[in-house]
Structure 1
Amino acid sequence: MFSVLQQVIYKYKHYSFIKHVIIIVLIIFTYFGYRIYVWANTQSTDNAYIDADISNISAEVSGVLTKLFVTNNTRVNKGELIGEIDDRDYKARLAALDAAIQACIKNIEIIEQKISIGKMRLEQVAEKLKLTKISFDIISIDFTRVQALSNAKFVSSKTLDDSKNEYQKVKTEYKQAQLDLDISKHNLQLLELEKSAAQEKLKELTENKKITLRSLQNTKIIAMVPGIFSNSNLAVGNYIVMGKALFSIVQDNTMYIKANFKETQIKNFKSGMKVKIVFDAFPTKVIYGKIRNIAPATGAKFSLIPPDNATGNFTKIVQRVSVLIDFVSPNANLVPGMSARVSIRTDQST
């Protein structure tokens, strides 16, 4: 009886051991199977780095830098004053333009007064011409009548001469009135042209004033975007050249990852996919992001001299495609240019 009991206990222990072994083997297979599945559905690259929107600021006017309020690697707000360029020349130019504009306005007022007088003069001359023509018409008729009577011997030669003299006098006055009218019209036209020229000059001076005023305003160097002021060699006394880059501003909240994957890796990539990021600077810390978009062409096609495989010997090279990745929760210690390793699970749903 005792020996039978020993056999049962031994058999039970033997089956229990096998059961535990099977469970352990299943766990190991499950673990490594999952790891293999994850590995097969994960694409990674260490050709990745942080990028950001960086504004390179240049001056819109030239001159000597007289004031500088910001130093490298400090935060600036949008509209914050960075420095000032010597504005004395621009102020002097603005004052000269103001004086020229006032003189031009005064000249236009004088011309307009002359035009008003000229119009009154024209009305008077036109009225005089009208009256002179009436007199001329009457005298012409009278002179024609006297000529007819003289031919018929009904009037004396003296009467004819008097009538003729009167006719010549009125005729001269009539022609003079016509000439005066033409001169008045011509003078009025000249005044109108002079006014138009003065108005064009005023318009030109006003535009020059706007440009000079803008130049004066641009002597103040302003931060156009918020961010970190950097890459500056500015110092008081430097001569600033218009259009030359003075400094850079790394814009706030614009950092992203630019990962260059092989063309064979991006088949199943989609916008919105979750991305695992590990930076060389923080190898034990994992940061997450998501795919923003995928470049429409390989990096080689955007190069200065794209490759032409139709000429010469051909060596096939796996191309790289840029994938932009946004941070889900960016780290304050990250800066543009840092290298990273990114991994993307291609079996995930977006």
Structure 2
Amino acid sequence: EVRVDENNRVKLGDTLVVLDDRDYRVRLAQADADLGVALAAVSNKARVGQAEALVAQMQANAEKAHADLERIKPLAEQEIVSKQQLDAAEAAARAADAALAAAQANLVGADARVAAARAARDQAALNLSYTRVIAPSNGVVSKKTVEIGQLVQAGQPLMAAVPLDDIWVTANLKETETADVRPSDPADFTVDAYPGRHFKGHVESISPATGAKFSLLPPDNATGNYTKVVQRIPVRVRLDGKNDPDRPLRPGMSVVVTITTK
């Protein structure tokens, strides 16, 4: 289901696209059932009591096996009992330790199974939430490529929601013009779309490098080309106040900026 079209205004949280969620609802229901079973096992006092009793029994068996082993060891050293009897006592002690560890793991494992079931349920709920694509901010829909019935994949762009509230201008100033430019310096700019109208703003930040350094093919002087070219430094100018809905500033417009330095 596609709920918006090109150039529609949207608000933060508006649903843009709804994907087929039947599979995800089934998985969430299964995860809820698994969590219920795990919780029931933990809350069943009879089962918990049996597990605790089994741990106590295995503890007693292990203590007895080790006590028998300690009694046989000196007798074996004096050759009163055979080596075979000593080996049997040692094996019995190891078996008792293993049985005790298994009983303890079974008792503690119930809580672990609940935690695992709850995590699986949370993951299923999260996956279900991904079937609703919502607007990340206020803006206008653009570049819509999704249509009803289309098969989409994770990471596939469906549309763009262009924000019109968060407006700034990138002024690519010559490096010779930026010596006195500082953040918070007032700025005035005009837009070709609205002749004669002036917009107020201020310098928000200055790029740490020239625009050429971040270009797709940055210049490389390793070939011996030392022709000096004045570089441009991007300066971000933030619009003061809100974007006028009647004459909005839109991304990509041509702007002439004047910055007043101190």
**Contact (CA 8 Å) 1:121, 1:184: kept in 2 or not?**
no
Q: Select the structure of larger CA radius of gyration.
A: 1
- Larger RCO: 1 or 2 (CA < 8 Å, sep 6+): 1
Which residue of 2 is the match for residue 230 of structure 1? 142
> Which one of 41, 44, 48 corresponds to residue 112 of structure 1?
48
User: What CA distance in whole angstroms lies between the structure 2 residues aligned with 1:223 and 1:118?
Assistant: 56
User: What CA distance in whole angstroms lies between the structure 2 residues aligned with 1:265 and 1:120?
Assistant: 82
User: What CA distance in whole angstroms lies between the structure 2 residues aligned with 1:319 and 1:214?
Assistant: 48
Gap change, CA 1:335 and 1:194, over 3 Å in 2: same
Which residue of 1 is the match for residue 10 of structure 2? 76
Q: Shift of the alpha carbon at 1:107? A: 4.7
Output one character per residue of 1:126-167: Cα deviation in whole Å (capped at 9) or x when no partner: 9xx9xxxxxxxxxxxxxxxxxxxxxxxxxxxxxxxxxxxxxx
User: What CA distance in whole angstroms lies between the structure 2 residues aligned with 1:116 and 1:327?
Assistant: 68
**Contact (CA 8 Å) 2:146, 2:158: kept in 1 or not?**
yes
Which residue of 2 is the match for residue 194 of structure 1? 106
Matches within 5 A, 1:1-350: 67-107=1-41, 109=44, 111-118=47-54, 189-328=101-240, 330-331=243-244, 332-346=247-261, 349=262
Gap change, CA 1:277 and 1:204, over 3 Å in 2: same
Q: Which amino acid aligns with 2:193?
A: A
Q: Which amino acid aligns with 2:50?
A: K
Q: Shift of the alpha carbon at 1:185? A: 7.8
User: What CA distance in whole angstroms lies between the structure 2 residues aligned with 1:200 and 1:74?
Assistant: 49
User: What CA distance in whole angstroms lies between the structure 1 residues aligned with 2:183 and 2:6?
Assistant: 36
Gaps of 5+ in 1: 1-66, 130-179
Q: Shift of the alpha carbon at 1:214? A: 1.0
Gap change, CA 1:185 and 1:315, over 3 Å in 2: closer
* Root-mean-square deviation over aligned CA pairs: 3.4
User: What CA distance in whole angstroms lies between the structure 1 residues aligned with 2:32 and 2:157?
Assistant: 32
Which range moves more in the overlay, 277-286 or 241-250? 277-286
Which residue of 1 is the match for residue 83 of structure 2? none
Gap change, CA 1:341 and 1:107, over 3 Å in 2: closer
Gap change, CA 1:93 and 1:315, over 3 Å in 2: same
Gap change, CA 1:116 and 1:201, over 3 Å in 2: closer
User: What CA distance in whole angstroms lies between the structure 2 residues aligned with 1:116 and 1:286?
Assistant: 79
Identity among equivalent positions (%) equals: 30
Q: Shift of the alpha carbon at 1:119? A: 6.0
**Contact (CA 8 Å) 1:295, 1:321: kept in 2 or not?**
yes
Output one character per residue of 1:238-274: Cα deviation in whole Å (capped at 9) or x when no partner: 2221122222222242111111111122233233333
Q: Shift of the alpha carbon at 1:213? A: 0.9
Gap change, CA 1:122 and 1:257, over 3 Å in 2: closer
Q: Shift of the alpha carbon at 1:305? A: 4.3
Structure that is richer in helix per residue: 1
Which SS does the other structure have where 1:289 is aligned? strand
**Contact (CA 8 Å) 1:105, 1:202: kept in 2 or not?**
yes
Gap change, CA 1:115 and 1:312, over 3 Å in 2: same
Structure that is richer in strand per residue: 1
Gaps of 5+ in 2: 65-91
TM-score by length of 2: 0.72
Output one character per residue of 1:261-320: Cα deviation in whole Å (capped at 9) or x when no partner: 111222332333333322222333333333223222211122344323244222111101
Q: Which amino acid aligns with 1:215?
A: N
Q: Shift of the alpha carbon at 1:229? A: 2.4
Which SS does the other structure have where 2:133 is aligned? strand
Q: Which amino acid aligns with 1:297?
A: A
